[in-house]
């Protein structure tokens, strides 16, 4: 049996979580909680309207899910301070630093296109369309690092069913907020803004595919894609588009940001595949953040039993 030695215990595992949060966000979260309590007592509506990010608030009634991995989870500090969110900066620590700019109330998500029930949802209504679940997922970034993250969210399929897609809906196109004041990285032409992503309809309906609104039982921090982002655990992390404002049902395969930027390097499918290398590096192994030795990367990130059927008969070297 391995007994944890003190030098193995990282400060992030023993320091209170709030010390690692953006300080302003934490103060605002605390005052938002106080405000919401006061609002309930006073019977006033809409406690958070036009208030900044409310990361840190506890999410209630979160169910456990049988889809969760049982591996050791990464610390809150790792998950919220080692991020890719180019609209908040291109270094891994930039998004946490710039999280303060991304206010998430008011926020709407428009569900549109080839559906019978097009609707613009207020985020506070959207998070109530299905019970919230904790989904502990292995996440594999295309840059060959990985983490285990306890997301909180609900299946994307719940929203798809409410929207009632028409027979023409073959794909879903997702769009991130476009607002250089709240996403200052959009002032620089790193990518074609807004960030866009897409899924085939059967991928979107798969029970593992979720819209996440939280992690570690709390409202999603801005740097992780607040107030709502996509999580598809068998695909490279860049498919998990953050801070979504539009979900459009379409007939043709939609354009995706990284594919527009470098089509030979990033395909539409982007399923985790140790046998198909990135043109500039191998995908055979990965570094789990917090670990010293590299691990072997698993086909479909270890979710093959659940998802391999979606791609039966497809040449995954061609459809990378
Ligand atoms: N979504 C937007 N809008 N902008 C981004 O830059 N980066 C992607 C994805 N979603 C990105 C995005 C990449 S490359 C990864 S690996 C994951 O977000 C990282 O998610 P995390 O920071 O919550 O771990």
Domain span at residue 180 reads 6-260
Is 281 inside any structural domain?
no
- Could you give the count of Cα atoms lying within 13 Å of 167 in the half-sphere of its Cβ? 0
* Residue whose CA lies nearest to ligand 1 atom number 5: 85
| Tally of domains within the chain | 1
Question: Which structure tokens are listed for 108?
Answer: 């709407």
Query: Would strands 108-113 and 119-122 be described as parallel, antiparallel, or unpaired?
Result: antiparallel
* Residue whose CA lies nearest to ligand 1 atom number 11: 85
Q: What is the pLDDT of residue 98?
A: 98
Per the DSSP assignment, residues forming a β-bridge with 42 are none
Distance CA 5, CA 214 (A): 31
Whether residue 214 has pLDDT greater than 90: yes
State pLDDT tens for residues 152-176: 999 999 999 999 999 999 999 999 9
Substitution candidate for ligand 1 out of 77, 144, 212, 237 with most atoms within 8 A of CB: 237
Is 272 inside any structural domain?
no
Residue range 250-277: mean pLDDT, rounded = 98
Is 279 inside any structural domain?
no
Residue closest to 210 by CA, chosen among 149, 168, 164, 261: 149
Q: What is the pLDDT of residue 22?
A: 43
CA 207 distance to own-chain centroid: 16
Q: Quickly state the pLDDT bin for 41 (edges 50, 70, 90).
A: very low
Distance CA 312, CA 198 (A): 20
Residue 102 CB–ligand 1 contact under 6 Å:
no
Query: Cβ(240)–Cβ(230) under 8 Å?
Result: yes
DSSP state letters, 170-196: -EEEEEE---TTTSGGGGSTTS-SSPE
Is it true that the peptide bond before 106 is cis, omega within 30 degrees of 0?
yes
Residue 84 CB–ligand 1 contact under 6 Å:
yes
Is 69 inside any structural domain?
yes
Residue closest to 11 by CA, chosen among 81, 77, 95: 77
Residue 154 CB–ligand 1 contact under 6 Å:
no
Q: Which residue has the tokens 């074609």?
A: 192
* % the chain with pLDDT above 90: 82
Is 49 inside any structural domain?
yes
Is 289 inside any structural domain?
no
Residue range 189-197: mean pLDDT, rounded = 97
Query: Residues 13, 146, 150, 269: what is their CA dihedral angle, to the nearest 10 degrees?
Result: 170
Whether residue 256 has pLDDT greater than 90: yes
Q: What is the pLDDT of residue 240?
A: 98
Whether residue 145 has pLDDT greater than 90: yes
Residue 237 CB–ligand 1 contact under 6 Å:
yes
Residue 174 CB–ligand 1 contact under 6 Å:
no
Is 110 inside any structural domain?
yes
Whether residue 257 has pLDDT greater than 80: yes
Q: List % helix, strand, coil for the chain (3-state, nearest 5).
A: 30, 25, 50
The mean predicted confidence, pLDDT, of the chain is: 88
State pLDDT tens for residues 271-306: 999 999 999 999 999 999 999 999 999 999 999 999
Query: Cβ(245)–Cβ(109) under 8 Å?
Result: yes
Q: Quickly state the pLDDT bin for 15 (edges 50, 70, 90).
A: very low
Query: Cβ(67)–Cβ(208) under 8 Å?
Result: yes
Substitution candidate for ligand 1 out of 55, 83, 85, 241 with most atoms within 8 A of CB: 85
Whether residue 33 has pLDDT greater than 80: no
Q: What is the pLDDT of residue 36?
A: 41
Whether residue 38 has pLDDT greater than 60: no
Whether residue 194 has pLDDT greater than 70: yes
Residue 212 belongs to domain with CATH number: 3.90.420.10
Query: Cβ(210)–Cβ(229) under 8 Å?
Result: no
Is 70 inside any structural domain?
yes
Ligand 1 centroid – CA 77 distance (Å): 16
Distance CA 277, CA 254 (A): 24
State pLDDT tens for residues 43-55: 333 333 444 447 8
Ligand 1 centroid – CA 179 distance (Å): 17
Q: What is the pLDDT of residue 56?
A: 86
Global confidence as pTM: 0.86
């Amino acid at each position: 049996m391995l007994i944890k030695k003190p030098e193995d215990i990282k400060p992030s595992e023993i320091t209170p979580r709030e010390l690692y949060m953006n300080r302003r966000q934490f103060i605002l979260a605390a005052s938002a909680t106080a405000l919401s309590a006061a609002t309930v007592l006073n019977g006033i509506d809409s406690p958070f309207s036009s208030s900044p990010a409310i990361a840190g608030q506890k999410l209630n009634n979160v169910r456990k899910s049988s889809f969760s991995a049982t591996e050791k989870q990464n610390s809150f500090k790792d998950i919220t301070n080692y991020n890719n969110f180019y609209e908040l900066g291109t270094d891994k620590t930039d998004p946490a630093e710039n999280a303060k700019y991304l206010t998430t109330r008011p926020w709407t998500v428009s569900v549109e296109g080839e559906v019978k029930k097009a609707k613009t949802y207020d985020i506070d209504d959207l998070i109530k369309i299905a019970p919230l679940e904790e989904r502990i997922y292995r996440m594999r970034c295309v840059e060959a690092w990985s983490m285990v993250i306890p997301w909180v969210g609900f299946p994307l399929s719940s929203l798809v069913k409410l929207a009632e897609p028409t027979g023409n809906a073959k794909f879903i196109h997702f769009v991130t907020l476009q607002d250089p004041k709240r996403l200052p990285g959009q002032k620089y032409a790193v990518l074609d803004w807004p960030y866009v992503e897409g899924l085939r309809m059967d991928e979107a309906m798969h029970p593992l595919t979720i819209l996440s609104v939280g992690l570690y039982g709390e409202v999603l921090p801005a740097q992780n894609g607040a107030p709502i982002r996509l999580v598809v655990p068998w695909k490279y992390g860049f498919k998990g588009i953050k801070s979504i404002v539009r979900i459009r049902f379409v007939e043709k395969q939609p354009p995706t940001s990284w594919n527009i930027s470098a089509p030979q390097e990033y395909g539409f499918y982007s399923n985790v595949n140790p046998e198909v290398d990135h043109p500039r590096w191998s995908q055979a192994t990965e570094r789990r953040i917090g670990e010293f030795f590299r691990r072997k990367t698993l086909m479909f990130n270890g979710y093959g039993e659940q998802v391999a059927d979606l791609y039966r008969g497809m040449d995954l070297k061609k459809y990378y």
